Amino acid sequence: MVVITLQRNKCIGCNYCVELAPAQFQMSKKDGKSVLLHSTEKKGFFTIKSHDDSIFEAAHEAKKACPVKIIEVKQV
């Protein structure tokens, strides 16, 4: 299982996550910040849990590219 977490309120809108993992992220037209698709929000953290391990690599690349380090990716 892959767990991806985004701390959206700290997003600066650089778009790296969307470029590297477009299946998981997109930019909001409303505020220009990243949106973690199909996520649930709890206390400012947006999280998805997926049984599709093939998304790990792209999400991990997005995590490494994020200049404000607000993306967490784990395989459990």
pTM of this prediction exceeds 0.75: yes
Q: Which residues pair with 36 in a beta bridge?
A: 25
25/38 Cα distance (integer angstroms): 9
Evaluate whether 19 touches 32 at the Cβ level (below 8 Å): no
* Two structure tokens written together for 38: 């199909």
Cβ neighbours for 44, distance < 8 A, ≥ 6 positions apart: 7, 8, 9
Cβ neighbours for 49, distance < 8 A, ≥ 6 positions apart: 1, 2, 3
* Two structure tokens written together for 27: 């930019």
Task: Kindly report, residue by residue over 25-39, the tens digit of the pLDDT.
Answer: 999 999 999 999 999
Task: Kindly report, residue by residue over 3-59, the tens digit of the pLDDT.
Answer: 999 999 999 999 999 999 999 999 999 999 999 999 999 999 999 999 999 999 999
